[in-house]
Every structure is written in C-alpha cells, then in structure tokens.
Amino acid sequence: MAYAATRGGEEAIAQAERLYRDDLGPLTAGRIAEVRRALPYLVDRVMGEASLYEPDLAALALAQTGGELYEAVLLLRAYRTTQPRLWTAEPVTHRDILTVRRISAAFKDIPGGQILGPTLDYSHRLLKVGVLAGETDVPEPVTPGRTSAPATQPALADWQREQGLVAPERAAKVPLDDIPDVTRDGLLFPPPRAHRLQTLARGDTGGMLALGYANQRGYGPVHPAVNDLRLGEAEVRLRHPRGTVFSAGRVRVSETEMVSKDPRADTLKLGFCATFGWNEVKTIAGATLDLSMEEQSAFAAADEEFVLYHTEPTEASGFCIHFKMPHYVTFQSSLDALRGANADRDRRAARAKARPKADRMSGAEIEEALS
C-alpha cells in the first residue's frame, strides 16, 4: 500500500470541521447532561467499546460527535491515554454483582429464580407518536414487590458443576499484576483466554452481533442458548493507604453465559462474555463467539483470529475510513496498469484487424508459413 503526502487545503479543512460542528449547534453542559439522562443505554455502549467507564465523558463524546459512534469511541480511547493507571481494583466475580436482571433460557427453574428486571423483551414495539403532537409520556410507576429481591444471585454454573453437567473450573489464579492486558501486550495468536475475553469486552457491538448471529444461523459449530444472563452493578473496590479495601462506587455491567452440548463429551459447554454498561445483545453474541472459538471449525465467523481482529471498533472503523484519505500513488499505479492493459488489448486488436486472414489460416497454411 502506498500513500501520498499531500499539501494544501488548510483553510478548506478548517471550514469542513466548522461545517460539521455547524450542523450540531452549541455544545453545552445542559446538552451533555440530557444525553446522559435520556440515552443511558447508548452511553453504556460507548463506554463498553471505549473500555473506559465515565458516563459524563461518554455523553460528552456522543454530543461532541453528534452521535457518530466510532468517533465517540475514538475520543474516549484517546482521553484514556491521558490518564495514569493508578490501581488494579479487586476482581469482580459472578456472585457479588448487585443484580437487577437475571434470566436463563436453557433452564427454567434456576437457583435464585428468573428475574426479568428492566427489559422491553415482552413489550409491543409501538412508537409513542403522540409525544410529537405535544403529549407527555409519563412512565407507569413500578408496583414494588412485598419483599426485596436478593442483592446478589448464585451462579448457575456452580449448580451445573455440582450436577456434573459442566466441567469444573480450571484456570490457575494469577496475581492481579500478571493478568494479561491487550492494551499493553498487544493481541498475538493464539491469545491467552484473558486477552480473548478482554477483547470481547471492548469489542464493537455491531461487529460482534454480525458474527455471533452468523454462528447462531449455522455458520458456526455450535447451537447455543442463554444459560445465565445478568444486568447489574459491580463495586469498584480499591485499597486505602491504611490497607482497608472499600468501594469507591459502582459501575453498570452486563454478562452472559451461553450453553451448548459439548460435542466431545456427555456434558455441556459454556461460553462467557461481559462488558461495561447494560448491553445484553453484545454479551449474548460475545458468549456465542467464545463458545464457537473453542471448536475446530472451517467457519470464518468461528475463527478466533478472524473474530477478534474484525470486531475491534477503533481498528476496524479506522482502517475502513482510512480509504477516504489520499491514495493517489496507489490509485495512480492501478490506473497505469489498467491503461497499460487497455493499450495492449487495443494493439492486439489493431494487429488482428491488419491481418484478418491470420485468424482463418488452415493447418496446412500454418505449416507452410512456418516451414
């Protein structure tokens, strides 16, 4: 790939950015607050893909880019590089998440029960067009239960392990400072499982959905169902200089286990995906991909290198849109080849026209001509 250094157009470039912002109007603290308040799931999606949890900054990134998601993710990832990493927090486990939604599609009666939580799963998808005519749509209040749900829920996988339905946990515990980190190590293949899960956690929702969906439709080796899906909040537990571990606050998280029959044993296999924010379609797709990538398969959508490389939002969008940038040398080379091929063809055609009998010579004539 060849690139061309180009000159000129500084004024046009300045005006082009102004034109982009001209369409968006003034950026105010009020607008940022409204984005954060009104679009929490979009804020969550951007934080997950940026791998940076800070809702105000995510709302700012969305407002500043006019909702251009890849630009918003890029802004947040760029901001992240300006901040020092001061801590590795205490690990979050399945069992200590404040859980507001927890369902299983594979098992009806699960320890802790099925809790729908905040969802539109069973709602009619009808636009409230009356709002455009001036009506105010006020949500119906929730009628609380007579008791409170438990703050945390047991792990279904633990019960399944007790029943011998899934293989026992096998990962060796590692010191927190030794957890592989794709932001510092880079992604090499075959990657450690920690890299795979981190890459999925910061993956592009749309890309993971496309490849996960492809697997679910048969372009993959597994046919999974949701084993355990959760939305909740995790405590960010840091260490005080006196040594006390305490919660500095909570962050929203999603996680999904997908389950399928293990083709090599009379047990079940589980795939896992978790991410910042409430984004369950991403974790369902991600856990499907985790399951598929464990299998030997000819499907690209189940190949680990294919999946992880092509669902990285900043890398993928950056490469895609870089083709907008000047490629004059590359294209000139292609153009020269094209023109050369056309010229050769024209010359051949001209020669053929000048010797029309040549195409109709008999074998004897050709032999005579060659003797």
Partner 1 sequence: MSGNDLGGSATGAAGPACPDAHTLGTLARAEPGALKRVAEALLEDLGDIEVLASRTGLAMLPREDSVTGTLFHLGEVLVAEAHIRLGDGVEGYGAVVGRDLERAMAMAVVDAALAAGRAPRSVHDFVAGEAARHAAEDTARLAKVEATRVEMEAF
Q: Which of residues 173-232 bind partner 1 (CB under 8 A)?
A: 173-177, 179-183, 193-198, 201-202, 228
Nearer to partner 1, 81 or 371 (CB): 81
Nearer to partner 1, 142 or 369 (CB): 142
Binding to partner 1 (CB under 8 A): which residues in 280-309? 290
**Residues in contact with partner 1, shown as a per-residue x/- string from 137 to 176 under the rule CB under 8 A:** -----xxxxxxxxxx---x-x--------x--xxx-xxxx
Q: How far is the CB of 336 from partner 1 (least distance, A)?
A: 47
Residue 264 within binding range of partner 1, rule CB under 8 A: no
Nearer to partner 1, 104 or 317 (CB): 104
Please give the size of the binding site for partner 1, defined by CB under 8 A: 97
Residue 278 within binding range of partner 1, rule CB under 8 A: no
What φ, ψ does residue 125 adopt, rounded to 5°? -95, 85
To which residue do tokens 């047990």 refer? 267
Nearer to partner 1, 89 or 300 (CB): 89
Binding to partner 1 (CB under 8 A): which residues in 343-362? none
Nearer to partner 1, 148 or 371 (CB): 148
Please name the amino acid found at residue 182. V
From CA 17, how far away is CA 20, in angstroms rounded? Answer: 5
From CA 205, how far away is CA 213, in angstroms rounded? Answer: 12
Q: Give the residue among 158, 161, 147 at the shortest CA–CA distance from 111.
A: 158
Residue of 111, 113, 130, 190 interacting with partner 1 (CB under 8 A): 113
Rg (CA), the chain: 29
Please name the amino acid found at residue 121. D
Q: How far is the CB of 149 from partner 1 (least distance, A)?
A: 4
- CB of 301 closer than 8 Å to CB of 209: no
From CA 269, how far away is CA 292, in angstroms rounded? Answer: 10
Nearer to partner 1, 287 or 301 (CB): 287
**Residues in contact with partner 1, shown as a per-residue x/- string from 22 to 61 under the rule CB under 8 A:** -------------------------xx--xxxx-xx----
From CA 154, how far away is CA 94, in angstroms rounded? Answer: 8
From CA 282, how far away is CA 109, in angstroms rounded? Answer: 25
Nearer to partner 1, 99 or 205 (CB): 99
What φ, ψ does residue 268 adopt, rounded to 5°? -100, 155
Please name the amino acid found at residue 99. T
Residue 340 three-state SS: helix
Residue 249 within binding range of partner 1, rule CB under 8 A: yes
